[in-house]
Structure 1
């Protein structure tokens, strides 16, 4: 279809017709352009008094005509071929500009974002136009040829400290050329040489990659008003660990500071272009934001970036899906995923639903989107029923334990604080442990013998390891894992395990206490156990002892302070029962 893109305001029908005729042009495959095509494009540009862009594939076909500069007429990333960082996109742009000046950096940035084969700028001048046989003929004063450059071994690799103004990508632009010299350039030789070098560099950079299918991730962090620099950096470090736990490889992190998130794209328009260019530069296939995105924001970003965009909740859900081992865990994870997915089905949303009836809702039948929505809603209803049955089953199990009059202690804490390691050390539980976030999801209950704080007799208690908490635990997970989290609210007391070696240990304590405070039933008394004391310095230890004088300080892996913790647990249980 001969669609003209860009700013068409004020154009006459005859001018639009001239623009549409450009689609019928065919250029030789081995030439960047021809004098005839360039002159015709320049003539039309002067006639409409606006810059023009013609996008041409390697077969010499004009595939897109736009009114505006290269930065204004970019091809949406979703419509561009996705070859990866080792290839160019197979499209070149011939652009005009009415002022006699060197091309602006915004035009070169647009070339890089799209990974164009080449960008040709035709500088036109009005004084050189004359009428010949009733038609306008353009005079091209000078031309410029620009193209991307592959990275070299001597260049500094792209890192988080890379100057984002340069985007870590280089290009070259020729000095002013005559149209005759430009038209004689061997285009295929230029492109094939560039792509051969791009492929060679790509292979060198990724020779040691263990898994070629591994997600290559660009993280985007937004710092808004009210967020401290320390909290912001902790959040970025955490999302990096989440991506690593999910099996992705973090290539780079992009930061922006705004007073509030942009309602459509979270970050500003300029930063979106920077992210799109960085994605092309480093060969990322996934962009992860450090916050939750609305369905509209995710769709807008994907359409402009050309790669998948996920938020923090989706990464956590993916980890939970990988970690769930038991049928109960898998059930709760699937419920959380479907609850998250339902409002994010692409399309017109509720406007397409036939449930409302009335004008505008009748038609040939259910849409594919509505069919998917109904199927998900039916599955959600079944899963919700199964979770309710699971909740009832665990309630009966707890009642049986309570009949035996054995006190229960729920082990809670931030993810990767060492809860499962502590349970294994105390009870030989053999629960899976790893230096990863959310290594275990399913609650595990084991018996531990302690010495009664009053009578001195040996008596058993039940320790229940629970799912780890995290800052702003996603609501779908809280709802779906309520059957598991009830193990916390029903316990007689809680053992709050804190990773003292983590730089943000104080923030972790606040996050866990905030989640506990939102529980429908107020948990019992809490003993704070600071873990991994063998990995902290004396200043950190002194600060924790000053802030939490009633806490206990241990190292589960090195078996330090465990006897003191047993005594404190005995006192805690005695106090909880007395309540």
Structure 2
């Protein structure tokens, strides 16, 4: 077998037969990009020769290459840009108009949070115009190693140059600075060594200032109508992120009456958010507002990080917390319903909405299947859940026939409901200081004097603006509430927004037509309040019970109230 390098032909001799195999040369088709439509083929070939350029100098660009790109730029009266890697090899040649260039999507050079891209942009300026806001935005958004403008003179030669680079996080919030390197023909800085030291400094300062963890760092964002609403919503989103195992680095919000239909945030604010996320080493951007599929698509064109909305974050927590077969089926159903409308978006946005946190759980293996199979799977899950619901109904029916009163603990997520049922019944149901720490319904017996007993049931925590898909998926859990004779409405009194949380729970109960069920308002976590604040709240809510779920000594009044309502009050009402 012989190989001809110049013709890319392999000749294989077998006895008297010679077989010729023509091998297609490997070619990076996207290396030449931009405004190519009106260019002559001979000029395009000269541009293509630039992609083979690789220089040995440690400078920003070799003098020879600077002269070549300047001459070509002047000849065609358009800006020309080169994206050069750290091996000094030209990876992209970009042709623009006479005032700007458009940088293509850099798929071959993945952006790693907290690091630089590994590419530097060198491009021509034909009219002596300085580095502008668009250049600075490109530098920051794409996390380029540097951005250089070569100023071309009338003869088509490089006259001088300016170079900007990104700064590590700093107290002045300054994004970039200029290199002291103006002379194309006499460059003094060892650029590659400078970039390696800069990237190390960026990593060290980012880790020190923002306590960046490996792969699970998030920046939170949203659009709100007021600062008060923004503060409350982002605090809750921060707790949700913490429950999902994310390290929240910062929060960003925009006050406006309506969300932007294309980008959710205004495009300028979105770019600022992306730049900040890159600068502080975020892996995720999580929006408090629910993203429409079209918005996810447009945002993914600007932001190269993983994006997630509030619904997906809650789904992720549910996937993490569901342990029973029923819980896992409900999570998968909700995930598939969430994914379904997004499958029609043919771009990277779905992949940015998945993977790692936000993509785990029983539904994660279903992302690549087609719409028909998803519909079939949804129908199958609905049938399975109906069967489980029938079993639950039979169990509840038996309890009702035995006339055992049922008490359901309801309340906002992380109010201490599971801790309370554990303390009341000496149980060991999993509980944690996290939102949605428990999802699966738990029922326990609680015995009273006089041979009386009740069934006390823990339910999934409520939350404001619970997504409709989650309401449907967890309907069988909420069905337990319809059999309750009494609700214990548990409230985290240490939360500054507890009044709004009470309103949210009552709103959900009203939507479920359960607002008329008798309830005891139980203020939990009194151990976290001072005596003066507790006294004021007791005056404000005279009918409420005040407890600490971790201190059984505070339960006497609660147990007496439950016993009175379920037994003595019923007897009185019956005799009257």
TM value normalised by structure 1? 0.81
SS in 2 for 1:180: coil
Is the contact made by 1:493 and 1:576 (CA closer than 8 Å) also made in structure 2? no
Classify 1:7/1:222 alpha carbon distance in 2 versus 1 (closer, same or farther; 3 Å).
farther
Please state if 1:486 is matched with 2:450. Answer: no
Is the contact made by 2:506 and 2:515 (CA closer than 8 Å) also made in structure 1? no
Q: Which residue of 1 aligns with 2:453?
A: 460
How far, CA to CA, are the matches of 2:45 and 2:540 in structure 1? 74
Match of 2:492 among 476, 481, 499: 499
Classify 1:35/1:84 alpha carbon distance in 2 versus 1 (closer, same or farther; 3 Å).
same
Please state if 1:218 is matched with 2:231. Answer: no
Is the contact made by 1:22 and 1:62 (CA closer than 8 Å) also made in structure 2? no
Structure 1 unaligned runs (5+)? 130-137, 157-161, 350-367, 452-456
The within-5 A match list for 1:496-535 is 496-519=489-512, 524-535=517-528
The within-5 A match list for 1:137-536 is 138-150=156-168, 155-156=170-171, 163=173, 166=174, 169=175, 171-175=176-180, 177-182=182-187, 186-198=190-202, 212=214, 214-223=215-224, 225=225, 228-345=226-343, 347-348=345-346, 371-450=369-448, 457=450, 459-519=452-512, 524-536=517-529
Please state if 1:65 is matched with 2:94. Answer: yes
Is the contact made by 1:246 and 1:318 (CA closer than 8 Å) also made in structure 2? yes
How far, CA to CA, are the matches of 1:306 and 1:369 in structure 2? 20
Instruction: Name which structure has the greater RCO, CA cutoff 8 Å, separation 6+.
Output: 1
SS in 2 for 1:218: strand
Match of 1:24 among 49, 53, 76: 49
Classify 1:485/1:98 alpha carbon distance in 2 versus 1 (closer, same or farther; 3 Å).
same
How far did residue 371 of structure 1 move?
A: 4.6
SS in 2 for 1:473: coil
How far did residue 62 of structure 1 move?
A: 4.4
Residues 16-55 of structure 1: per-residue CA shift (max 9 Å, x gap): 8636632321141434223444344344545555544332
Classify 1:102/1:567 alpha carbon distance in 2 versus 1 (closer, same or farther; 3 Å).
same
Classify 1:144/1:576 alpha carbon distance in 2 versus 1 (closer, same or farther; 3 Å).
farther
How far did residue 333 of structure 1 move?
A: 1.5
How far did residue 561 of structure 1 move?
A: 3.7
How far, CA to CA, are the matches of 1:342 and 1:526 in structure 2? 39
RMSD: 3.1
SS in 1 for 2:149: strand
How far, CA to CA, are the matches of 1:412 and 1:230 in structure 2? 26
How far, CA to CA, are the matches of 2:107 and 2:238 in structure 1? 26
Classify 1:553/1:192 alpha carbon distance in 2 versus 1 (closer, same or farther; 3 Å).
closer
How far, CA to CA, are the matches of 1:231 and 1:188 in structure 2? 47
Residues 314-362 of structure 1: per-residue CA shift (max 9 Å, x gap): 111111111112222222122212221222226459xxxxxxxxxxxxx
Q: Which residue of 2 aligns with 1:552?
A: 545
Match of 1:88 among 113, 116, 135: 116
Classify 1:88/1:68 alpha carbon distance in 2 versus 1 (closer, same or farther; 3 Å).
farther
